[in-house]
Amino acid sequence: MKKTQFIFFFPLLVGLSVYLESQTPGKRVQSPSGGASSSQNAGAQKTVFPFFFLYSFGITPSEWNPLWPALLPPDSLTANSQERSYLQITITGKDLEYQLRFGKDGKPLKIPFFYGESSQYLQFKWDSQGNLEKLSLSSNSGKEETLYQVIQREGEKIAELVYQKEGEIFFIYLTIRSEEVEEVWYTPEGDPHIVFRFLGPAGLIYKIEQTSEEGTTDFLVREYTSFLKPSFEAWKDTTYEVLYAKENPRYVRMKALQNGASGEVQNPPGGMPLVEEQKKSKEEQWWYQYDERGRLVRLVYPDREYRYEYEDDRKGLWVRCRITPYIPRLGGMVPLQPIELTRVISYGKE
């Protein structure tokens, strides 16, 4: 059994909708990313998102990641194609809709960004040379809430930006090296506010270090070679782990441990293992099962499970997904009302 532990600095699982959010396991925590405010920006502490993390998240979108809604299939916003020029994906269900849009040369224009109990969008504006002009974080309604405006470049590298949100302004300076990026935030008066350091080669972020008046904290460790390409969170007294079975990477077990609780890891049998009854109230575990194509077909929690069925188009890409919840009753599993998702994939000029 291969055991790998990861740390992430955003909430692990967020809801697909109000209903799906109520099904989400694990402990919800507040993001630790808010820094200390300057005297000119005194008041309630606000969450700030480091620019380079959002930028990297947008230009290297992968399948599943820890910002993902709990039950949404990991490949929902992926067309399994290298062709991203003018690619658009729209996925809809009851009371929800997510969109992913790429423009010329496959550069991102609009990408869902899941945080806390809400979903937002990263929107990118590029100049005629393919350089980023601005990045904004907007609500589902389209209201621009956070803006990062590039004001200086050094060759192809972004060197300086201005951050604006609800009247709050900071200047951001980037120093980009081969395996490290430093992002320093200053107040308009020139006082240091917060520093982020991103560690990892070629823009692949493995760890984020945040330094402010409160000290230095590590927030992110990321793994890019695993079956799921996952990242997980460790914050306060909770640690999330992923455990793989060497003989079959299609069976993945996740654990949420609190206050140092630990449990034995067992190799899954030939079929999908059921999660044993939890003996420790401070530990939660759940399983993912994938088919030979890498699609999620079963998600098992201690008290329920979800089964996935797909309908493909002529290219072999799924366009409909039915997620059926099952709960234990009288020694068996009883199905509940299924959740229906529809996916539209299109190519072509805007």
pLDDT band at 317; cut points 50, 70, 90: confident
143 vs 243, higher pLDDT? 143
Residue 173 domain flag: yes
Predicted confidence (pLDDT) at residue 80 exceeds the cutoff of 80: no
What percent of the chain clears pLDDT 70, i.e. is strictly above it? 58
What tokens appear for 146 in the block? 């956070």
Residue 134 domain flag: yes
Predicted confidence (pLDDT) at residue 246 exceeds the cutoff of 60: no
pLDDT band at 43; cut points 50, 70, 90: very low
Residue 30 vs residues 12, 22, 27, 145, 234: alpha-carbon distances, Å: 11, 17, 10, 19, 12
295 vs 187, higher pLDDT? 187
Residue 111 domain flag: yes
pLDDT on residue 209:
77
* Pairwise CA distance, residues 301 & 120, whole Å: 27
Most confidently modeled range among 31-45, 128-142, 169-183, 196-210: 169-183
Predicted confidence (pLDDT) at residue 20 exceeds the cutoff of 90: no
pLDDT on residue 236:
40
Question: Which domain does 297 fall in, by range?
Answer: 2-33+45-346
Residue 272 domain flag: yes
Average pLDDT over residues 200-226: 63
Average pLDDT over residues 24-50: 39
277 vs 305, higher pLDDT? 305
Residue 40 domain flag: no
Q: Number of structural domains, the chain?
A: 1
pLDDT on residue 127:
93
pLDDT on residue 254:
59
Predicted confidence (pLDDT) at residue 199 exceeds the cutoff of 60: yes
pLDDT on residue 139:
79
Residue 53 domain flag: yes
166 vs 257, higher pLDDT? 166
pLDDT on residue 273:
33
122 vs 258, higher pLDDT? 122
Least confident of 124-128, 183-187, 266-270, 345-349: 266-270
Average pLDDT over residues 214-240: 48
Residue 38 domain flag: no
Average pLDDT, the chain: 70
Least confident of 70-79, 147-156, 307-316: 70-79
pLDDT on residue 244:
47
166 vs 207, higher pLDDT? 166
pLDDT on residue 347:
77
* Backbone φ and ψ of 39, nearest 5°: -65, -30
pLDDT on residue 269:
31
Residue 39 domain flag: no
Least confident of 28-32, 58-62, 224-228, 240-244: 28-32
